[in-house]
Amino acid sequence: MSKIYLIGGVGAGKSTVLSILKTEYGAEIILADDEARRLMEPGDAGYDAVVRTFGTEYLSADGTIDRQKLAARIFRDPEAKKTIDQLIHPMTWKVIDEKMSASGADLVITEAAVFDADARKRYFDEVWYVRTDPEIRIKRLMESRGYSEEKCRAMIENQFTDEEYARQADRVIDNSGTEEDVRAQLRTIMEERTKR
């Protein structure tokens, strides 16, 4: 089994890459954000940790975590983001590790917007970075999510730069062109991996 850590900023088009890997190469896909979200459901460990740390002011009327309110806090308060990351990330990686271990697939891809050096060392064979020109990322986000240009730029500035992402990666997949371009790059990567 090959365990790949797929990283890339918001709007980079990681979902296109994942879709090709799943449908054409039979990869099992694990989305780190989805696993983290599940951990923050009522009754789960992440939920308890968030409520214990931030209090009940971040709960909705139905008792679930008000994600928008919490996201707004994290976005403007780096310390709060750091605290959430320290609470949720270790739990998330543990769940991901369990899922990868239980998988029967030859190729398991875990997608995350953030890079975690410790997780990379402990759980993965390679890191692949999906890189896309910032202006294309902004255009995609405005079209797909209806965000303002200002919000898109702020989100991108809040993440790693291209150079920081690329420095962590074993392979870079450029998604600034067409889906066929991406498909060709993945074909080359998979052929290289088969020859090893």
Q: Residues comprising the binding site for ATP?
A: 11-16
Phi, then psi, of 78 in degrees rounded to 5: -55, -30
Q: How far apart are CA 87 and CA 81, in angstroms?
A: 10
Cα 45 to Cα 28, 38, 65, 114: the distances in Å are 25, 10, 13, 21
CA distances, 42 to each of 46, 48, 76, 176 (Å):
9, 8, 25, 39
Which one-letter DSSP state was computed for residue 57?
G
Alpha carbon distance 158, 74 (integer Å)? 11
Structure tokens at 94: 């543990």
Amino acid (one-letter) located at 173: I
Q: Which residue has the tokens 């062109």?
A: 177
